[in-house]
Amino acid sequence: MRKVGIGVLILVGMLALIWVVRGNDFFLYRTFAPKYEQVRRDTFEQSKAYRQGMVQELQNMQFEYVKAAPSQRDALASVILHRAADVDEGVMPADLRSFVAQLRRDRAAAR
């Protein structure tokens, strides 16, 4: 009977230890996961592929803006300015930078 009691105590002790470790893991994850995710996102947004992709997308939008009918340009300008807000102007080619600046001036004049 004593061996069964010791066995049950060992089992309960192991379960308690597992519960503490898993609980601790959960609380650590809850604390540090948002910070890890933010670092991962910042690293991605600093990558060359992301920057080039955003510039290429803005250039495609610029082309669509030039081709668009005057009634469609206001909506396209809104989308372009929204996307361009997240892109560092230093990585944009000069023509794209001046295009975005012109859209901003036009938007400010319309208000």
Q: Residue 2 to residues 6, 14, 36, 92: CA-CA distances in angstroms?
A: 6, 18, 49, 77
Q: Over pLDDT 90: what percentage of the chain? A: 60
pTM recorded for the entire structure: 0.66
Q: What is the pLDDT at residue 2?
A: 84
The pLDDT assigned to 63 comes to 95
Across the range 29-38, mean pLDDT stands at 88
Q: Which residues contact 49 (CB under 8 A, 6 or more apart)?
A: none
Give the range among 7-11, 21-25, 33-37, 94-98 with minimum mean pLDDT. Answer: 21-25
- Summarize pLDDT for 56-91 with one digit per residue, the tens: 999 999 999 999 998 899 999 999 999 999 888 888
**What is the Cα Rg of the chain in Å?**
28
CA distances for 22 relative to 16, 18, 28, 37, angstroms: 10, 6, 10, 21
Whether pLDDT at 109 is above 80: yes
CA–CA distance, 106 with 77 (Å, rounded to integer): 10
Give the torsion through C-alpha atoms of 33, 35, 37, 42, to 10 deg. Answer: -170
Nearest to 73 by CA among 65, 81, 63, 62: 65
